[in-house]
A = this chain, B = another copy of it.
Amino acid sequence: MSKPVNEIKSAWIRDAKEADYIVVSSRIRLARNLADFTFPASMTMQDSSEIVKQVQGIAAVIADYNFYQLADLSDLSKQILVEKHMISPQLACLQGQEAAIIINDEGSVSIMVNEEDHLRLQCILPGLNLEQCFQAISNADQELEQKLNYAYDSELGYLTSCPTNLGTGMRASVMLHLPALVKTKNIAKAFDTVAKLGFVARGIYGEGTEGLGHMFQISNQITLGRTEEDIIASLSSLVKQLVDHELNARDYLEENFLIDLEDSVGRAWGLLSGARKISAEETMKLLSKLRLGAERKLVVDIKPADLNKLMLDIQIGSLQQLVHERLDANQRDIIRATILRQRLKQ
């Protein structure tokens, strides 16, 4: 029996450790398709229903797996899953096909059925933990592969809807908090390096979004012609470099502009503690300053797990879930400010 979907906590939020201020989370995603069906973009409703049924049968026998038909989830629940990064906005909006979601009890592994590919498996963990993510997602992948006929070409590797995913079908990504690189105007140079190494940087909610709250996702572009281990090792090494750059930029700001840094953190704390209505966007920008202050042990003392949880709880869906009420934009801004005041009272 599956748990109520809203009761599953995200591992990357809950399990963040003291060191996880800069590397917020690591994620590995695998794209897999079934050989006996056309890709989701052109499949029939009957196909989609058959795939969901097959996957449900397998998921039922794996311990700790929770299965949800997309159609059974409320819009609010889907919105919250997007905010937790457990499903994509595309799946949440899917119409005209059956789809499903599988999530493990721990809230680290989730599998989307009939998104862009028949199966999208992912594992997200806090901090820099790509190897551990890969281990977890490979286990899930193997369990499924034993019982499903994956579309696989001995030369091309795993076949995918979009050719950019061909081969390993793997995307590895890391979410980084890089306020000091932005502040010192070194972020463009850092992202040049990212691009030269075949990786791409983007905003917190995927392609096309800005680096809101100075959060950036770095992920691999290339899936063909490189092994999973190679991609993971390169990305881990790149992330360590970026973290070093960010730490150097923080040291520079702290050594040369300490009072400005403290002022920025203090004012962010003041606004978050004092506001009676506040947008999600402004909150994200201010939480970014608190996160920087907390990492530097300046002005505020807040753990990464608490910051991650705040970052989630002020989002549109999670906020409404917290108060068990549908809220319009204005009401959300008021409730958001109330929650922030309560949480930041020390």
Chain B, residue nearest A331 (CB)? B259
Which residues of the other chain, B, contact A263 by a CB distance below 8 angstroms?
Answer: 275-277, 337
264-322 of chain A: CB within 8 A of chain B: 266-277, 299
Residues A167-223 near B (CB distance < 8 A): none
Alpha-carbon separation in the docked complex, A277 to B257 (Å): 12
Is A272 a contact of B270 with CB atoms below 8 Å? yes
Which of B262, B269, B271 meets A267, CB within 8 Å?
Answer: B271
Are B266 and A276 in contact, with the CB atoms below 8 A? yes
A91 in the interface (beta carbon within 8 A): no
| Copies, count | 2
Main secondary structure of the interface of A (DSSP, over half): helix
A267 to B272, CA, bound (A): 8
Which residues between 23 and 74 of chain A lie within 8 Å of chain B, taking CB atoms? Answer: none
Would you call A224 an interface residue if the criterion is a C-beta within 8 Å of the partner chain's C-beta atoms? no
Set of chain B residues within 8 Å of A260, measured between Cβ atoms: 277
CB neighbours (8 Å) of A275 from chain B are 263, 266-267, 270
Interface-central residue, A259, A269, A270, A272, by most chain B CB under 10 Å: A270
Residues of B within 8 A of A276 (CB): 259, 262-263, 266-267, 299
A297 to chain B, nearest CB (A): 15
Question: With a CB–CB cut-off of 8 A, which chain B residues contact A269?
Answer: 270, 274
Of the listed residues A260, A262, A299, the one surrounded by the most CB atoms of chain B closer than 10 A to its CB is A262
Q: Give bound CA distance, A262 to B277, whole Å.
A: 9
Q: Answer yes or no: A334 CB below 8 A from chain B CBs.
A: yes
Bound Cα distance from A268 to B276, whole angstroms: 11
A260 to B337, CA, bound (A): 12
Residues from chain B with Cβ under 8 Å of A266 in the complex: 274-276, 337
